Amino acid sequence: MRILLFCPRGFIDTSSGKHVFSLAAALPPLGLASIAAVLRQAGHDVSLWDGALRPSVTNAQWAQRIAAYKPDFACFSAVTSAFDDAHDVCRRVKELQDSIRTVFGGAHVSWGREQILARFQAVDYVVAGEGEFSLLKLVEGRPPETIEGLYYRDGPVVRNGPPQEPQCSMDDLPFPAYDMLDGFPGAYRLPLFNYRRHPGASVISSRGCVYRCSYCDRSVFRRSFRHNSPEYTFELVQWLRRDFGIRHVIFYDDLFTLDRNRVARLCGLLRSSRPGLGFNCIVRVGHIDKELVGELKSAGCWMVNVGIESGDQDMLDIHKEGLALDMIRRDIELLHNAGLWVKGLFMVGFPGETEQSIRATIDFACSLPLKDANVTAFTPFPGAPVFKGIESLGAFENDWSRMDCVNFVFVPKEIGSRQALERYYAEFIRRFYRRPFARRAYRRMFLESPHSYWRLLRHAAAFLGYASSLKK
């Protein structure tokens, strides 16, 4: 079978705010790359196109290219904010060549399932959950009613196959098809100031999360956790280093350090082989200790991301399972004292958020030895627990295209206006990066991450425009 996997643009190129974020980071669609590897291994003719790399190509042009390619199946994966782009391309493809069968997957449609098929007639199939083997069975002609996680039309009726369980051991999967990504690795960009050496790559070595935070959509993996073995992950990293010249890796696992023994073994392999690269990872508070942090540091870990979200304990109790302010401070100081760059992840605008809770978060962030921060707009994704009843908690703009963690689509009753949230957001950024601690860190960063400064200068006009908007 001839199969095209397509990742839509998902942002508006002429919107300076969104475009700046696409310039700051462009990560490969690893979910599609994993599916591509499985399909290719089974002998199918597979191509993977990433629309996010070419924002100037219109949806109409993408549809023309897909129709001209003449795949048997055109498969789309889209986060919530990119769904409208994906469907627009899909609809245009159907208008040009109705015989092409269209499949949608990813977190958004794993939530929507039969609703997506009922509302969007250009979509022929939805795969809810993991895509590799359900899609493989579909393209190989298995009866749709036997395919786990598949939703399809039977005349006017939407039907589905059995519920999907975890489909395989993760070590049974081939390495994601990075080689099918046009321009990899140079065309992709790790987040600014989040790497020491270029080129870099993102890696996901586990799936799922055992926690249930209010804002997380777990429609694909649900409340489960599986991971690659240390040996598999090490071989993947070695391959990226050897065949693509990768010099820095960011592990985007939600719970990289959940299995302590796995991480310690991986660190031992990296340390003994000295592959000549550094790495970052995400650390969850409560899942590290001094010895493990030492293992990370000695194996080449340079930066750790820590999900903090709020500096108000009431907000944490409602929205972030199993977290306390004293635990956060303890672990961040442990990481900082080990010589790691520590980046805090925060949200603004939770349901129940007040001016006092936002200011408490800003004060808390500024009091910690954090050298970087990622501050996002709280976004109630349709598959997240908080989505149910969200309209009773504040003003909600249910526009999927704006659910990108950049736009404030939800305004809690206690705040009152989107403009107020935007002012608090700007205050957060200004106060955090004007700290002497942060200024010293970024002077040092000139030597630590020179490639990031080159990127910043190359796109100076766009970044300065965005910085100016925060002062208004």
pLDDT tens for 239-261 read 999 999 999 999 999 999 999 99
Q: Which residues are CB-neighbours of 171 under 8 A, at least 6 positions away?
A: 228, 229, 232
Q: How many CA atoms lie within 13 A of 145 on its CB side?
A: 4
Residue with tokens 């010099």: 247
Please say if the pLDDT value at position 401 is more than 80: yes
The CATH superfamily assigned to 2-160 is: Response regulator (3.40.50.2300)
| Phi, psi (deg, nearest 5) at residue 465 | -65, -40
Joined tokens for residue 101: 């069968």
Give the mean model confidence (pLDDT) for residues 186-209: 93
Greater pLDDT, 37 or 53 = 37
Using DSSP bridges, classify how beta strands 372-377 and 341-348 pair: parallel, antiparallel or unpaired.
parallel
Determine the pLDDT at residue 17. Answer: 44
> Going by CATH, does the domain composed of 190-470 fall within 3.20.20.70?
yes
pLDDT tens for 77-119 read 989 999 999 999 999 999 999 999 999 999 999 999 999 999 9
Using a pLDDT cut of 70, give the percent of the chain over it. Answer: 95
Q: Which residues are CB-neighbours of 102 under 8 A, at least 6 positions away?
A: 73, 74, 75, 76, 90, 93, 94, 122, 123, 124, 125
pLDDT tens for 418-446 read 999 999 999 999 999 999 999 998 888 88
Give the mean model confidence (pLDDT) for residues 220-246: 92
* Least confident window among 45-59, 125-139, 158-172: 158-172
Using DSSP bridges, classify how beta strands 157-160 and 150-154 pair: parallel, antiparallel or unpaired.
antiparallel
Whole-angstrom Cα distance, residue 434 to residue 381? 32
Give the mean model confidence (pLDDT) for residues 53-57: 89
Chain-centre distance of CA 159, in angstroms? 30
Please say if the pLDDT value at position 170 is more than 60: yes
The 3-state DSSP composition of the chain as helix, strand, coil percent (nearest 5) reads 45, 20, 40
Determine the pLDDT at residue 15. Answer: 43
Please say if the pLDDT value at position 13 is more than 70: no
Whole-angstrom Cα distance, residue 66 to residue 53? 16
87, with CB counted inside 10 A (0-12, 13-18, 19+), is: buried
Contact 79, 9 (CB under 8 A): no
Selection from 316, 357, 348 nearest residue 421 by Cα: 348
What are the structural domain ranges in the chain?
A: 2-160, 190-470
Give the mean model confidence (pLDDT) for residues 158-169: 87
Q: pLDDT-derived band of residue 223, with 50, 70 and 90 as boundaries?
A: confident
Determine the pLDDT at residue 22. Answer: 67
Output the CA–CA distances (angstroms, integers) from residue 67 to 103, 139, 311, 444, in the order listed.
15, 18, 50, 50
pLDDT tens for 320-374 read 988 999 999 999 999 999 999 999 999 999 999 999 999 999 999 999 999 999 9
